[in-house]
Each structure stands twice: as C-alpha cells, then as structure tokens.
Structure 1
Amino acid sequence: MNYDALKNSYPSRRSVVYGRKGMVCTSQPLAAQAGLDMIKKGGNAIDAIIATASCMTVLEPTSNGIGSDAFALVWTKGQLHGLNASGKAPMSLDIDTVKSLGHNSMPKRGWIPVMVPGAPSAWAELSEKYGRLPFEEVLKPAITYAEEGYGVSPVISRLWGNSYREFSAEFAGEEYEPWFQTFAPKGHAPAPGEVWNSLELADTLRKIAATKSKAIYQGELADAIDAFSQKTGGYIRKSDLEDYWCKWVEPIHTNYRGYDIWEMPPNGNGIIALMALNILRGFEFTERDTAETIHKQLEAMKLAFTDGKHYVSDETAMRVTTDEMLSEEYAARRRALIGRDAIMPSAGDPKCGGTVYMCAADGEGNMVSYIQSNYWGFGSGIVIPGTGISLQNRGYSFSLNKEDANCLAPGKKAFHTIIPAFLTKDGEAVGPFGVMGGFMQPQGHLQVITNTLDFHMNPQEALDAPRWQWTGGKDIEVERGFPYALTEELVRRGHNIKVLPESLNFGRGQIIWKDENGTLTGATEPRTDGTVAAW
C-alpha cells in the first residue's frame, strides 16, 4: 500500500509500529511475543500464528480454548488459501431432541450447543502444510504459560469476572463443576496481575503437540470428552470427533476502490461485509464524519446482514450461491433501497438475476489472518475433567425452525460469526486484518476498509476511529466518542441511537499492511490489551 496517499486524518491514541523481518498482532502481549519468537528462531508467519493461537487458549481463556473453532487465510508464494476449522453438530442431536427438552430456541450454555472443536486440527494442518518448525516447538510457549502461570491482563480479568458472576448464579449440575475447578480454583476470577495456571491444560497441550492434534480427535482426549459427555447428559461422542478434520476452501472476494477484500466463504459470515461493500461501491464519500456517509454505511450493512442471516449456513444447505449474493445486479437492487431515512430491512432475493483475532507476517512475504473462538464468554461452560479443555457453544447460533437455512441438523456446520480478512491490490498482498466480536465482525471489517480506502487513515487510525453497530431493525449502538452532532442527525433520519460507554461491545481488531518497500506496518486495538510485536 502506498502510504504517500494516506493522510493522518484522525487523531490516533497510539502510533503504528513498523518492522521488516516479522510482525504479530493480537490482543494479548505475551501471545504476540511468543509468535514473534518463532520467527526469530527461523520459523515463518505460519509457525508464529500457531504459537500465538495456542498461547491465546491459555492467556485469554474467556474468549477461546482448546475446544474452539477457527478460520485462517494464509498468503504464501503469491497465493491466498482459506482454512475452515469450524466444527459440526453431534450426530445424535437434532431439532426434535432439543424441543423435547422444552426448548423453543437453542440454549446458550450446557451440552446442547456444544459442537466438535476445530482449532486443534487447524494448528496441525497449518503446521503440516506450511510451517517450518516442529509442531512440538511452536506449542512450547503455550505449555509453559499453562504450567508456570502468568499475570492476568486487566481487560481479561474484567471479562473473567463477568463470566464468573454469571456462572455462579446460573450453573447447577455436575457438568459445570470442572469449570469452577479450572477457572476459579481460588473461589473467584483472577484479579489484574494475579497469577493463573493450569497443570491439566499444560498436560493436554503436550498431548496435542506430541500427536499433531490427533489425541483430541482419536486418542485419550477424545475418550475423555466422550466419557464426560455420556456421564453428564451430553451428545457429542468419540465417533463425532473421529469423523472430523478441518478443510481447505477457496476464499471469496469483492473489489472496492481498486483493492480486493477477501473473506472466508459460508458457513462464515464474511460474505456480509463483502455484500455491504458492494452496495457502498455505488456511492462516493469525501468525508467520514457526516450524517450522509454514516447513514449510507448503516443502511448498506443492515441490508447485507439481513440477507446473510437469512441465507448463510453450512455450504451444503445454502439456497443461493455466493456468486448470486455478490453479483453487481443484486448489489444495485439493494442499493436502490437506500434513501434519506432509515428503513426496516428484510431479506431480498439474490436469484433476481467472546473470540480472538490475530495476524502475522514474516520477512519472506508469508502472511496469516487467523481467528478462533469459543463464541460467548467461556463458550458452553463445559470443561472436560482433568484436561482443561473448555468446549465452545457455536450451536447456539442454530435455528430450531426446520424451514430456516441455518436450522440444526446432525453433522451440520452452523452460521459462523468469526471471520478473518485479507486485502490485496493487483494480485499482490497488502495484508491481513480482522475485528473480533460476534455480530460486530463484518461491521468492523466494513468500517476498517472504508476508513482505509475512502478516508485514507493509517492502520492505527482506522482502528481507533469511533464505531457504530447495527443491532436490529432501526436500532444502532455507537461508542461514547461518536460525534454528538452525528447522532442527532441520524435520529432525525429515523435511526434509534444508543450511546454505549463500553467499548468492548464494538470489537477488537488487528491490522498488518505491507507497503511497496516491503515494510510491515502494524496496528492493534485500543479497546483491549493488544500489542504489536515487531522485528
């Protein structure tokens, strides 16, 4: 990217960071440094991202764990590759079973929303296909932190405390006891700086390292998951784990202002960001902080999100194709719906014609955009005794309406909120970026891209700028730093505006851009404890 064209047009809370030989950005400084250490040891960006991701299961367990799902976009040797490591629903679980238990919608916690974890398979697959260092070497930092402990960072302490209070009030039953034993062994959530460790988690990571993740799908860790599930009323079985491995897929993209923005295909919801950008491509923006600009961005996102929630599902259950959803004809039809006032969005017809994000780059040109998640804080609340494995609750996003594309079915992947992204120009890599945070993610991607390409912000400015979030209907949340005059004008246009003091609701992002000289420029989220580790 040519930074001569970029103006420092927005006051930044921190400076961008430059590097030449390697860079890792994520929300936990110790994890970022562990990843950079792999590059310094002769590894590449892929080794770095595996080390960082495995460390994050220890250092930020509020958002992810061994039981997480994951997605990755890998740029190597001039090509971009996508890895889908999202899990599948257990074969013994279906809509009728869930409804027979008295549920009209998928519960958030417990065994019902648990799906096969995908992240460990992603680590092993990335290492086998593109890594340079031994798999056991790149998992050593995570094992060390789990065994020796670390001082919990301020933001994670706060999130940990929120979950502890929720779980203490709501959890009852044998299946939840291991969570308290693992994550609140002293009877409370760790305070900032308080040391937390888990010898059981360290032992689990050693088994994963020694077997290239096979232990969790075919070995003794799979046996432990199966045994605890059967003992406490769960649905996942060893056969579900044995039948799973991550899958390489073709990334999808759209062109915006001369750059190609890449996302993972469904079942991920990255296509929502691309659809919204397709709509916005038909407008010209000269200023960011105007009611006309923000209004059009909001309306485009509302329309794209409504379509995404209606159509995106497991690729085998999709009723429309990604080409149809990303066609210029369909974008034009949706764009025509945007007028002066806020609308109530509804899905169109394209056939008319709690998560951690990280990125890494090395001096050889390899770059990785990676994300993994247990979904809502600490996921399902289920921890496998003796292992430290916390299982995700991604099944919570399934519908129990058999007519919906994203309805629950045995062995099916769910609509996924976690999405890594990547930017290229004229076939050359600019770099990875992402904004984690549930349904904020495609909205964060759109705002980062428009901040960068329409308003010429550098990476740190693009992350610092106050954000908005559409939450449904005409309801919009904005950060406290959002200009007051803009909120007033948006209200006059029919938007229901709510100003929130809590910045964590608006996502946590990371960016690495590479310029024409090969210099890496990194930026990290001011809304969390993030850092850029550079060499």
Structure 2
Amino acid sequence: MDRRTFIATLPAAAVAAPLSAQQGRPSPEPAIPAPGQGGAPAPADQRLPGRWVEGEARFVRPDVRAGDRPVGASFASRTAVYGMSGAAGTAHPLATQAGIDILRRGGSAVDAAIAINACLGFLEPTSCGIGGDCYVMLWDPRAREVMGIAGSGASPRGLSLETVRARAKGGVLPPLGAVTVSVPGTVDCWWELHRRYGKLPWAALFEPAIAYAEGGAPVPDIVSYYMQRSIAAFRRSDSGIEEVANALSTFAPNGEAPGFGQVFRNPDLAQTYRLIARGGRDAFYRGEIAERIDRYFRRIGGWLRADDLARHRSEWVKPYATDYRGVTVHALGANTQGLATLQMLNMLERFDLRGAGFQSARSIHLQAEAKRLAYEDRARYYADPNFARVPADWLVSKDYAAERARLIRPDRINPRVTPGRAPARGDTTYLATADRDGMMVSMIQSNFRGMGSGLVADGLGFMFQDRGQLFTLQDGHPNIYAPGKRPFQTIIPGFATRDGEPWMSFGVIGGDMQPQGQAQIIVNRVDYGLDVQSAGDSPRWHHEGSSQSMGEDGPDLPPTGLLRLESGVPDATRAALASMGWTIGEPDGSFGRYQAVERRKDGAATVWAAASEMRADGCALAY
C-alpha cells in the first residue's frame, strides 16, 4: 500500500468502522473494576474484550502492553538478524527467502533485489508490481560510491492537458482509471541494474516468482486486508474505471479477494514473467506484452500506446547528499520527494534533539515543524527536471536550512509557513539486500495509490499504476501535466554512509510519510542511539497538510495540518504537543513500513544486520 489516502477512494461505510476499530488508537474504554473496589460489575458489553473474536481484524486491549524483552529497547519487537554472507529485509517472508536463495546461488545483491521485487509483485500486489515505477540507490563496492537509478515512466504522449483537465474532479486528477496511467518503469529499471551488476542469468531471477504465482501462496493478513479494500473501491459505481472485469478476475477470482491465510494464484502473471524472462526488457516494451497493452488501452478508450513503451528508458542519476552529525544521508532528486528528507535533516541539525529527549514533545515538535517547512518547498518546486528548473542544490544547502530553521519556534507551532523563495535561475514496497562482496541495495517500487489504477490488461496479470494523479493542473507550476512528462514521485529509497563507508540501506514506504519516516529513522539512530530494528519499532508521528499540497491531503484539515501520533507515544507528550498548538489526530495506519540492512565491522569481518517492519507481514533474514 503506497499511500494512506487510498482510503479516500473507498465507500465510507466500508472503511469507517474497520479503520476506527481496527487501525486507529482505540477510544478510552470503561475500566474493569479492580478486585476489592466494590460496586456492581460493568455490563458485559462495557467490559474490555477477554478474547479475540473470530473474524475480527484486531484484538484491542489498550491496557495491555507487549511482553518484556530481556535486552534491547523496551518497545522493540525483535532483534535484528545477523549474518556474514548476505542479508535481505522485505515485506513478505517468502520474498525474503527467495532473495536469500538467490544470494546463496552466487547472485549479487542486485540479483536478489530483482528476484524479491518480482516475487512481491505477486505476493504483495497491494503495494507493487510491474505496472509501476522503481527507484534504487546502491553501494557499488568497486566504484566505492552510492549509485542511483530512476525507473520512472512518463505520461502518454497522446494524452493532452485539455483532456486531462476535462477528466479532473475538483481541479485534481481522479484516483482511478486510464487518465492516471503512466508508462511502467520497473522492468527496464531491473534490466539496467542487471546489465551493470547482475551475476546470475536474467531468467533465473524470475524462477521463484513464477513458481509462487503458478503454485499459489497464502495471503498474509495485512495484504489481504488491503486487497479487500481495493476490490471494494474498484466495484464502486462511481469509481471512474473504464473496465474492471480483468482486475476482478485476477485478484478476486472467486468473487472476493482472498481472506487471511487463503491461497492466491495468478497464472497470468506467471506467464507474463516467462515472457520477460525469455525476452528481457524488450518483451515488455517492444514485444508481445507491449502489443497487448496497446490493444487493451485502445479497447477501453485509454491513452497508453506501444510507442510510449518503446520510448521509455531508465535514468542513472547521481544522488544528492547531506551530512547529519557525522552521517552522510543520500537521496535521489529527479522527480522524487527525496530532497525533503535532506531538507528536514539540515534544519534539525540546528537543534539539540538529544537534549530534548527521546519521544519528548519538544523533539517531535521540532521534527514536525521541519517537515512543514520542507513540504512547502516540496509542493512548490519538485518536478521532472527535464521539464522544469528544480533548484535542488539550493534546497539542500546548509545556508538555506539555517534560514528556514530560524522560522521554527521551539515552544509553539508556527501558525503560517510558506515556501522559500528560490534564487532567480530560471500504498509501495521497500526492500534492502546485501551480498558477500559488500554491495548494498536500497530499492523501492510502487503502483502508487493502493493497488493502482484498477486496470489490468487482458491476460497479463498485473495492474497499471495511477501515478499520474500527482500531476498538478495549475498553470505555471513546474509539476503541471504535460504529455511525455514524468509526474512528481513519492517513492524514495534511503541510504546512509559514514566516513566514506556504506552504513545503512533503508526505506519507509507510505506516500507523503516517506521523507517523514526516513528522517525519524535517522534521528532515532543518530540522536537517540537506537539499533537498526528498534529505530523502526519506535512509535512514529505523521503530519498531514500543508498550505500547498501535491494533492494527497484530505479535505477539511486545520490550517496547520493534523499531527497523527501512534498509540505508543507517551500521553504526556501528546498533551504537551496539544498545548503547543498542534491538532492531534488519532493513528490510522498511515505511519509507513520500514526495512533496512546495516553494515557493521567486527575486526576484518563484515557483519550484516537486517531489520523488518513490525507494522507489516514481512521479515528480515541473513546468513
């Protein structure tokens, strides 16, 4: 699931109860009288639940905390896994196993990442697939530097701005349907990565995914939950999707999306993977798959064509970087929001977060205020640099950060923030891998909102992304829609180095949560000393709303936005933030999902430490 705002596309009745009861921070419930206090016991329907009711997604007992671990952070879910030969952290245990198997066969970290991503396209279709885009940063042990590649597709060349405006609702593009579809960039990104860094044959990387898609695999609870919500959205009479029969037959073959632990199969996707395994990237962009895509969009009245696919090429890019208290944090520019992570950290470096205290109101306040400032610039300047002048060097400069940091009040919220004035110069999956040669891969891949556009081409088994919804329709804006242009991208991999050596490949998925989540991971590790696993287990905050937006914010937000806090944030912190002027929102499952691999040195030996998200169904493994 790439973005929380996918929820906005669902029927209110279908979503409100599950989210409030299952994902949100539970409302205070009547206490059960303590023994010896006297008084009649509360009515049965007022008591806290005594057992997990069959069929319920969650068992909520706000008075019960996790068990006590003998070592590590008290809130940690588990220890990082360690190994000396390789590691992988992904959103699905079977995908992680497939990646480890590829590494054991002599594959590179890139080989493992591609195999994992192909598996996740089947195992986790709520977050990713070959109908979407892909971005990667990796440590090249030979070149001894961080490399970046942008696998982002452009809008159809035959779709005009006038047509897009005619399909807009309330001045923004709709969340579903053909008008939001852009060229899928994932397969070409895999191909370019493999050409440069692959060790095993290309076809070998698809063997695990083909086996899973054909033989089937049980669906984890969270994937099932979001598949069911997506299918409900696609079935809405006002969804705007030109054709839904293919999506339903692919992902709800028995009339309903698979339930928790039920076996799901996708033989069409297995066959598509076979074509790619045999024919390489050209099978997708010039061969039989491209021809089927062209015929499908002509049939339904869409705009994506074979020529759009044939023109697509991934782009190797040099990542931007900034120093944060001795750690160098890297980010992709291009048309992504990666610069926001660096902007936030540059501002936060001006404040004593360690002195403020872990999970304190002051610490969260400073972080959220830095987010608000960075996201004003994000909405004003971020766009496809092939179509617009993006002042990236200025945005990530220390001088500009010092200027912006002066706008942060340490004791109360700034009632109004605006973008900086540039000098005049004109719901996603994340995975991390590492191999015995020292290569580390940070890969993120997405169909954007939920499962994507709702469109599945005849017999191909994958859904097309709806990334085009993030174009703006505002005249003069750098991110305004244009044919053949790449939309603003939310998906960003993370990478950090120390003293010129690789340290951590990491990522936090979730639309606008991603820079916020990445900054929180770095702050937790650098300022508060948390290990690679507990840094992700720590309760998170998520701020929604800016005076300017890329279209992802919901309606009726307060002028200063909404600060959502996970239930693990201390009550005293919550109260103090409210007194500073923050509007506090209940948790709603919008806090992202994290995976990471850390490189450690033990004398001459390299040790990999891999971490996985406790908010999802995945796992990390090392060997």
1:38 aligns with 2:105: no
1:29 shift after superposition = 0.5
In 2: Cα distance, 1:193 partner to 1:11 partner: 27
1:352 shift after superposition = 8.4
Contact kept, 8 Å, 1:10 with 1:465, in 2: the verdict is no
Q: Which moved more, 1:309-318 or 1:219-228?
A: 309-318
> Alignment partner of 1:389: what SS?
coil
Percent identity, aligned pairs only, is 39
In 2: Cα distance, 1:224 partner to 1:319 partner: 36
**What residue in structure 1 maps to residue 585 of structure 2?**
498
Contact kept, 8 Å, 1:26 with 1:531, in 2: the verdict is yes
In 2: Cα distance, 1:332 partner to 1:8 partner: 35
**What residue in structure 1 maps to residue 575 of structure 2?**
488
In 2: Cα distance, 1:102 partner to 1:144 partner: 41
**What residue in structure 2 maps to residue 341 of structure 1?**
412
**What residue in structure 1 maps to residue 158 of structure 2?**
92
Q: Which moved more, 1:28-37 or 1:90-99?
A: 90-99
**What residue in structure 2 maps to residue 373 of structure 1?**
446
In 2: Cα distance, 1:233 partner to 1:127 partner: 35
1:526 is aligned with what amino acid?
Answer: M
In 2: Cα distance, 1:415 partner to 1:76 partner: 27
1:79 to 128, 137, 145: 145
In 1: Cα distance, 2:84 partner to 2:388 partner: 42
1:122 aligns with 2:193: no
In 2: Cα distance, 1:355 partner to 1:333 partner: 33
1:303 is aligned with what amino acid?
Answer: L
1:225 aligns with 2:298: no
Q: Report matched runs for 1:224-303 at 5 Å.
A: 224-286=292-354, 287-303=357-373
After superposition, give the CA deviation of every residue in 1:71-95 in whole Å (9 maximum; x if it has no partner): 0012122221101001101111232
Contact kept, 8 Å, 1:330 with 1:350, in 2: the verdict is no
Contact kept, 8 Å, 2:85 with 2:436, in 1: the verdict is yes
In 2: Cα distance, 1:440 partner to 1:13 partner: 21
1:435 shift after superposition = 0.3
> Alignment partner of 1:191: what SS?
coil
1:164 shift after superposition = 1.5
After superposition, give the CA deviation of every residue in 1:96-137 in whole Å (9 maximum; x if it has no partner): 112234643111100000000000111111111101000100
1:292 shift after superposition = 1.4
In 2: Cα distance, 1:485 partner to 1:75 partner: 42
In 1: Cα distance, 2:512 partner to 2:96 partner: 25
TM-score normalised by structure 2 residue count = 0.83
**What residue in structure 1 maps to residue 608 of structure 2?**
520
In 1: Cα distance, 2:190 partner to 2:424 partner: 41
In 2: Cα distance, 1:116 partner to 1:530 partner: 28
TM-score normalised by structure 1 residue count = 0.96
Contact kept, 8 Å, 1:121 with 1:246, in 2: the verdict is yes
Closer, same or farther: CA 350–56 of 1 in aligned 2, 3 Å: same
In 2: Cα distance, 1:95 partner to 1:231 partner: 22
After superposition, give the CA deviation of every residue in 1:435-483 in whole Å (9 maximum; x if it has no partner): 0111100000000000000000001110001100110133211111111
**What residue in structure 2 maps to residue 425 of structure 1?**
498
After superposition, give the CA deviation of every residue in 1:220-266 in whole Å (9 maximum; x if it has no partner): 11011111101111011111000002111101111001010011113
2:412 is aligned with what amino acid?
Answer: D
Contact kept, 8 Å, 2:135 with 2:151, in 1: the verdict is yes
In 1: Cα distance, 2:196 partner to 2:450 partner: 31
In 2: Cα distance, 1:201 partner to 1:53 partner: 13
**What residue in structure 2 maps to residue 26 of structure 1?**
90
In 2: Cα distance, 1:147 partner to 1:102 partner: 39
1:51 shift after superposition = 0.4
Gaps of 5+ in 1: 1-6
Q: Report matched runs for 1:199-210 at 5 Å.
A: 199-210=267-278
2:421 is aligned with what amino acid?
Answer: D
2:234 to 167, 176, 180: 167
1:143 to 185, 206, 210: 210
> Alignment partner of 1:138: what SS?
helix
After superposition, give the CA deviation of every residue in 1:3-33 in whole Å (9 maximum; x if it has no partner): xxxx945531111111110101011000011
Closer, same or farther: CA 254–102 of 1 in aligned 2, 3 Å: closer
Q: Which moved more, 1:443-452 or 1:163-172?
A: 163-172
Contact kept, 8 Å, 2:155 with 2:182, in 1: the verdict is yes
1:280 shift after superposition = 0.6
1:163 shift after superposition = 0.9
Closer, same or farther: CA 390–331 of 1 in aligned 2, 3 Å: same
Contact kept, 8 Å, 1:139 with 1:205, in 2: the verdict is yes
2:599 is aligned with what amino acid?
Answer: K
In 2: Cα distance, 1:164 partner to 1:439 partner: 23
1:221 is aligned with what amino acid?
Answer: I
1:400 aligns with 2:473: yes
Closer, same or farther: CA 247–486 of 1 in aligned 2, 3 Å: same
Q: Return the index of the structure with the highest Cα Rg.
A: 2
1:173 shift after superposition = 6.3
Contact kept, 8 Å, 1:10 with 1:457, in 2: the verdict is no
1:285 shift after superposition = 1.8
Contact kept, 8 Å, 1:330 with 1:352, in 2: the verdict is no
Which has a greater percent of strand? 1
Closer, same or farther: CA 402–68 of 1 in aligned 2, 3 Å: same
Q: How many residues align?
A: 527
1:345 shift after superposition = 2.2
1:507 is aligned with what amino acid?
Answer: G
CA RMSD of aligned residues (A): 1.5
1:172 shift after superposition = 6.9
Q: Which moved more, 1:27-36 or 1:163-172?
A: 163-172
Contact kept, 8 Å, 2:118 with 2:206, in 1: the verdict is yes
In 1: Cα distance, 2:424 partner to 2:565 partner: 34
